[in-house]
Each structure stands twice: as structure tokens, then as C-alpha cells.
């Protein structure tokens, strides 16, 4: 272990994990799910690109919701709006039932292949918690598909704002009864790591796509290519 890894292992008590895209394969899972549905409707575009449109629209709408700060809109409602816009953009007729069905797929996404074994290793040294933009009931519905006993799943509903609003990370620390410096947030998204660092937490960036983190005063404490590499960095050879 490096000197930095040893320091983090000594001082960090809790690892909080983003769920969508870090624990579960959102892009791959939704692409697989939506491909036959799009084909049935005669759409000849790229399903992977469709899901990218969907996710980007959802992200933009959730950020607008937090910035307006006029009351938290449920993740599921943001999802319905995002899918509806994406279907309109693709020229695909749809019903409200179609929107509900498509968004419900998020609750049934499976973990990336290396995640379960990495979590088992990390659980020997840290408390493990989900901190997600998802609604409480969506996180509860996802538990059988993730099939790992996290200590708890915290929804941003508790704070009333989507990540990366600093209130979400501060609220999580309060609920877990730890100081921010004792918590490390683990995410596949730079914005999520930046939000955690801005709130005083540590952060680990899971760089699965091998992209630069970007120039920011809120650099992550660790940058690793996978959850396996995170466990290697924080647990050593066990």
C-alpha cells in the first residue's frame, strides 16, 4: 500500500457509494433493456446513443432542479421527463405507461462484474453505504438485484437536493454519525467526487472509461480504474 492509501485506511471509517454507474452498470444495462423495445417500434438508431441521450437529459434536469432549490423533485419523475424528451427527440410515439416501464428498468440493474468481490474485501475494513440520487423506494427495490448487504441506502431525498449539492453529503455524514473527513465517497462520475470533496469528504474516482478528471480545486484522493483496484489500494493483500 502507498503512504496515501495507508493514511486513508487509518482515517476513513465509512465508504459511501454512488449506485447508478458505479455499483450497477447503468449504461450497459439500460442499453440491453431498451434495444428490443426500440427495434419493435422500428427505430433504426443506435440504442447505446439513445441511452446516452436519456441519461444526459436526466442529469441536466436533476441539476436544474437542485439549482432552482424550490423543493426536491423525485428521481422517478425526473426520469419520466427525461425519457419522454428523449423519445420525442427520436421521433418515437409513446404512452405514460411506456415511460413508467422504461424508468422501472433502473431498479433492476445488475452490478459490474468485479463489484461483488471488491465489496466483500472492502467490508472487512470499512462501513459500506449507498448514497444515491435515486428515490428511497427505488433503492429498496434494487436491493435484490445488487445482492450485497450494505449497512444502509441513503437517498438524496433525506437532504432535499440531488448530488452534487453539498447538503447531500453533509446529511449522509450526519445520518452515519461520522465527520466528513472520516467518509470517502466512491463514484464513477467526476461531478459526484467534486461534490463530496467540496463538502469536506474524501473521494475515490472509479475511472472505468479512462477519461481525464478535469482541472478542479477538488481533486479526488484516489483515481483507480475499477472497484477491484479500489479494494487493492485500500485493503492491500488482505
Q: What is the pLDDT of residues 158-208, one digit of tens each?
A: 999 999 999 999 999 999 999 999 999 999 999 999 999 999 999 999 999
Residue 136 has pLDDT above 90, yes or no: yes
* Orientation angle between helical segments 190-198 and 166-176, nearest 10 degrees: 70
Cβ neighbours for 127, distance < 8 A, ≥ 6 positions apart = 13, 14, 15, 151, 176
Output the pLDDT for position 211: 87
pLDDT band at 1 (very low <50, low <70, confident <90, very high): low
- How many Å apart are CA 33 and CA 228, to the nearest integer? 26
Q: What is the pLDDT of residues 199-232, one digit of tens each?
A: 999 999 999 988 889 899 999 999 999 999 999 9
* Across 91-111, average pLDDT: 97
Residue 238 has pLDDT above 70, yes or no: no
Q: What is the pLDDT of residues 72-94, one digit of tens each?
A: 999 999 999 999 999 999 999 99
Output the pLDDT for position 180: 97
- How many Å apart are CA 233 and CA 222, to the nearest integer? 9
* Across 49-56, average pLDDT: 98
pLDDT band at 4 (very low <50, low <70, confident <90, very high): confident
Q: What is the pLDDT of residues 144-163, one digit of tens each?
A: 999 999 999 999 999 999 99
Domains of the chain: 3-25+110-235 (3.40.50.1000), 26-108 (1.10.150.240)
Residue 105's closest CA among 136, 138, 63, 72? 138
* Across 14-29, average pLDDT: 98
Mean pLDDT of the chain: 96
Q: What is the pTM of this model?
A: 0.95
Amino acid at each position: 500500500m502507498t503512504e496515501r492509501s495507508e493514511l486513508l485506511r487509518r482515517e476513513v471509517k465509512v465508504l459511501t457509494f454512488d449506485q447508478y454507474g458505479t455499483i450497477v452498470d447503468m449504461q450497459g444495462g439500460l442499453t440491453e433493456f431498451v434495444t428490443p423495445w426500440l427495434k419493435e417500434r422500428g427505430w433504426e438508431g443506435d440504442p447505446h446513443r439513445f441511452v446516452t441521450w436519456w441519461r444526459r437529459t436526466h442529469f441536466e434536469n436533476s441539476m436544474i432542479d437542485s439549482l432552482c432549490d424550490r423543493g426536491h423533485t423525485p428521481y422517478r419523475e425526473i426520469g419520466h421527463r427525461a425519457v419522454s424528451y428523449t423519445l420525442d427527440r427520436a421521433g418515437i410515439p409513446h404512452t405514460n405507461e411506456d415511460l413508467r416501464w422504461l424508468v422501472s428498468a433502473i431498479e433492476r440493474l445488475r452490478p459490474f462484474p468485479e463489484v461483488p468481490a471488491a465489496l466483500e474485501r472492502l467490508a472487512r475494513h470499512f462501513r459500506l453505504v449507498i448514497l444515491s440520487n435515486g428515490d428511497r423506494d427505488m433503492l429498496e427495490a434494487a436491493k435484490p438485484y445488487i445482492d450485497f448487504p450494505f449497512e444502509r441506502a441513503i437517498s438524496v431525498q433525506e437532504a432535499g437536493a440531488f448530488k452534487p449539492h453539498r447538503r447531500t453529503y453533509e446529511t449522509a455524514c450526519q445520518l452515519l454519525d461520522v465527520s466528513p473527513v472520516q467518509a470517502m465517497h466512491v463514484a464513477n462520475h467526476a461531478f459526484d467526487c467534486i461534490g463530496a470533496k467540496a463538502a469536506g469528504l474524501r473521494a475515490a474516482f472509479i475511472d472505468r472509461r479512462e477519461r481525464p478528471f478535469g482541472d478542479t480545486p477538488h481533486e479526488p484522493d484516489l483515481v483507480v480504474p475499477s472497484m477491484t483496484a479500489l479494494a487493492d489500494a485500500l485493503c492491500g493483500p488482505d
